[in-house]
Amino acid sequence: MKEFKFDTLVIGGGSAGMAAALEVSRRGFTVAVAERENSMGGILNQCIHNGFGLHHFKEELSGPAYAEKFIDMVETSNIEVFIDMTVMDIEETGDLKYAYGLSKLTGMIKFCVKTVVFANGCRERNRGSIGTPGTRPSGVFTAGLAQRLVNMEGYIPGKECVIVGSGDIGLIMARRMTWVGAKVKAVIEIQSYPAGLTRNIVQCLNDFDIPLYLSHVVGEIHGKDRVESIDVIPLKKGIEQKDKTFNIKCDSLLLAVGLVPDNELIQKIGISINPETNGPIVDRQLMTAKNGIFACGNVLHVHDLVDFVTEESERCGRYVSNYLDKKIPAEQFRSIPGQNVKYLVPNYYSPINENKFYLRTMVVKNRAELIVKVNDKEILRKKLKHIQPSEMISFSIPGGTVDCISECRDNTLEVHIV
């Protein structure tokens, strides 16, 4: 078994992994990236539509074009990339970590590293996660799998389809399926408002006369061998109106019902998970409860935009470098979600440094306010024009703003939305 020594092993060569690896490498440390597919870029490679990079590059790019910019930088750096490489396990001895990864090209490799960055993204929720009843025929695909079949392989997974979920992936796939000649008969959304961006509702549904059923759920899937039809049930104030059930004939069902961090290996090595995000609990440095093991991107929490993934991951790369430089981090206290907030990342803050937070709200509201409190004292108040659960909110607290740290209080930072 071959052994390699690096300062950092980054698991995942998508947008998060490349951004983090580049930052660590820029600071002069040795970095390996383990990517399980046969090329870098991750899920961006199958997202051939536009809309990426408006924040980070100030221009509108397709997914592969966004990835390409980072791949070019990685290829001209000193980063060592291992493609087709699946990391199976990680062990720790003192400050050193041993990661075992395998590929058909190299066999099993033992990476001896000081730090590990989890940047291995997320996976799709599927039929089991939403518990759709009915038969179990062929023709039920997650939207991401359907996207890969169409965009990477050129296959059309059905002629008449219904899409479940109005998040951006569902909307983009509605348009994509129409463009290749399939009939998209409906998009079904359980919430009373669309989960995706307004521009996608217009450009992906309205422009193609695809009906959007808000406050509806799939009651049952029919068809013995292949999907033949589905029952759709309207909701009234969240309650199923079974007497108003109607049936839509279709040969395929695409599920765009959310994403979850791919936290398997993180959990396997004993790192605790935040049940609200399904990602690991991290401190201000984006370091997990295990020293020297960091996480960023969609494995930490699912982002809306790749630009935010890049921002977070570059920051993670800087924190990793600080750790490798043996910089001792300032004292940290807990940061927790308050009223109307589903989650907050990271889970700790430092009063003397700048703190960048991402959060998701639990409510839909116009003209909301975000309020940050420490020890009951208001630290920050920010006006928000429109908020909804599907849109991530970010804010920063400049270093030194928290001036009420007390030895007899717990100094927990609370974020409320009112």
In which element (H, E) is residue 22 found? helix 15-26
Residue 358 CA: distances (Å) to CA of 194, 275, 374: 22, 16, 17
In which element (H, E) is residue 129 found? helix 127-130
The correct pick among 60, 72, 75, 89 for binding another protein (CB under 8 A) is 89
CB 44 within 8 A of CB 151: no
Show the site string, 299-338: x = touches another protein by CB under 8 A, - = not: ----------------------------------------
Residues 140-179 that bind another protein (CB under 8 A): 141-142, 144-145, 148-150, 152-157, 159, 175, 178-179
Residues 24-63 that bind another protein (CB under 8 A): 36
Q: CA-CA distance, 110 to 90, in Å (whole number)?
A: 9
Number of shown-chain residues binding another protein (CB under 8 A): 66
- Of residues 55 and 159, the one with the C-beta less far from another protein: 159
- Judged by CB under 8 A, does residue 106 bind another protein? yes
The correct pick among 5, 55, 136, 327 for binding another protein (CB under 8 A) is 136
- Of residues 155 and 246, the one with the C-beta less far from another protein: 155
- Judged by CB under 8 A, does residue 123 bind another protein? yes
- Of residues 245 and 412, the one with the C-beta less far from another protein: 245
Residues 56-85 that bind another protein (CB under 8 A): 84
Residues forming beta bridges with residue 191, ordered by sequence position = none
Q: Could you count the other beta carbons within 10 Å of the beta carbon of residue 398?
A: 10
Residue 308 CA: distances (Å) to CA of 23, 63, 272: 15, 14, 24
The correct pick among 199, 224, 249, 327 for binding another protein (CB under 8 A) is 224
Q: Could you count the other beta carbons within 10 Å of the beta carbon of residue 290?
A: 17
Residue 14 CA: distances (Å) to CA of 34, 276, 344: 10, 24, 23
Tokens of 312: 């977070």
| Closest CA relative to residue 256, chosen from 191, 184, 167 | 167
Site residues (vs another protein, CB under 8 A)? 1, 36, 84, 86, 88-89, 100, 102-108, 110, 123-124, 126-129, 131, 133-139, 141-142, 144-145, 148-150, 152-157, 159, 175, 178-183, 203-204, 206-209, 220-221, 224-226, 262, 264, 267-268, 275
